[in-house]
Amino acid sequence: MQSNLKEPVLVLNANFEPLNVCTIRRAMGLIFAAKASMLVNGRGEVHTARMYYPAPSVIRLDRMVKRPRPQVKLNKQEIFRRDHYTCQYCGGRSDDLTLDHIIPRRLGGRHSWQNLVTACRACNHAKGGRRLEQANMALLSQPRTPAATAEYIFGRYLKANHEWSDYIAGW
């Protein structure tokens, strides 16, 4: 089976801590440079002009890499993911979701995890540029910063990459 060189590969630190996700092309470069070794071949093969190489699904770096404590980036997709793609005012699910500032920016509200929620267009329009009390609305759950666990950070890849779950669990 020929592999797509842009498929995801889980990169582990020397102590098996999940670091990030790269492409098969990048993983093969690390393996050929003797900077990493393949742990799981879950992608078939990579064909070159003369050779066949197993395509990695999980690689481990040969040397320990120090890195800062991981944090979940504040962006629109992560807010939607934290709120389970559900309007935090009415509980409805929709393909047409927006972000809402609980305390509007013009009233001093910040662009932060605690002040941003997912809202459907109808609820966002009904609230307008007012505070919750002024709009007679309430939140279904209090927004907070998601914990930067390996399950949360790499969770979106697990459905298509079952072999990663053993390496992500517990971090």
| Tens-place pLDDT, residues 22-57 | 999 999 999 999 999 999 887 778 888 888 888 899
Number of structural domains found in the chain: 2
Model pLDDT for residues 62-90, shown as the tens digit of each residue? 999 998 888 889 999 999 999 999 999 99
Answer yes or no: is 57 within a domain.
yes
Same structural domain for residues 63 and 12? yes
Same structural domain for residues 49 and 101? no
The dihedral built from the CA positions of residue 128, 134, 135 and 137, taken in this order, carries a sign that is positive
Residue range(s) defining the domain that contains residue 47 = 8-68
Long-range residue pairs from 21-26, CB within 8 A, at least 24 positions apart, any chain: 21/154, 21/157, 24/55, 24/56
Same structural domain for residues 63 and 91? no
Same structural domain for residues 88 and 47? no
Answer yes or no: is 169 within a domain.
no
